[in-house]
């Protein structure tokens, strides 16, 4: 006779703390306190990553030179979301886009706001819009809007 699995219905809560690390902590503090967006520059190949990371994906060098980026950039790609889910940060329809800030070599997927869906286009210039009450996370940039 096979053993039947024991299934217990219920809710499991697991409290934990997340440590973002030195690079990400500086990034989030500057974002929260000063509305400054930081990247990190590779000393070997000069690639600038946004958001910062600790290892260069091209040459595997250690990254620790934080550089200030502007708040403007280019929309590299986007998708329009037409359905709502509880995990979405806003109600549908809304736009997710990949934004490459001026001076950076990589892009960040983020919300695009204040945009007419018929006017969306790859290559359009966008600018960060910051929340009034910032908490030290990536959603301190509320969205990027067309310039």
**What rounded mean pLDDT belongs to the chain?**
93
For every residue of 84-129, DSSP letters joined together read: --TTSSSPSSEEEEEEEETT-SS-EEEEE-S--GGG--TT-EEEEE
- The H or E element spanning position 58 is none
Quote the pLDDT of residue 14: 81
Q: What pLDDT, in 10s, does the model give residues 102-146?
A: 999 999 999 999 999 999 999 999 999 999 999 999 999 999 999
Judged by average pLDDT, the poorest of 12-16, 72-76, 117-121 is: 12-16
> Where exactly are the structural domains of the chain?
21-146
- Whether residue 1 is predicted with pLDDT greater than 70 in this model: the reply is no
- Whether residue 8 is predicted with pLDDT greater than 80 in this model: the reply is no
- The H or E element spanning position 21 is helix 21-34
Comparing CA positions, the residue from 120, 146, 134, 128 lying closest to residue 38 is 128
Q: What pLDDT, in 10s, does the model give residues 85-98?
A: 988 989 999 999 99
Q: What pLDDT, in 10s, does the model give residues 35-71?
A: 999 999 999 999 999 999 999 999 999 999 999 999 9
């Amino acid at each position: 006779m096979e053993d039947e699995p024991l299934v217990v219905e219920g809710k499991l809560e697991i409290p934990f703390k997340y440590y973002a690390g030195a690079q990400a902590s500086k990034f989030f503090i500057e974002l929260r306190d000063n509305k400054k967006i930081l990247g990190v520059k590779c000393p070997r190949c000069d690639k600038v990553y946004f958001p910062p990371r600790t290892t260069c994906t091209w040459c595997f060098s250690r990254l620790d030179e934080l550089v200030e980026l502007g708040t403007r950039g280019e929309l590299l790609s986007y998708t329009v979301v037409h359905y709502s889910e509880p995990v979405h940060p806003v109600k549908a329809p809304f736009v997710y886009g990949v934004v490459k800030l001026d001076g950076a070599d990589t892009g960040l997927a983020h919300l695009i706001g204040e945009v007419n869906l018929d006017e969306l286009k790859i290559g359009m210039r966008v600018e960060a819009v910051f929340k009034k009450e910032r908490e030290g996370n990536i959603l301190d940039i509320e969205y990027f809007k067309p310039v």
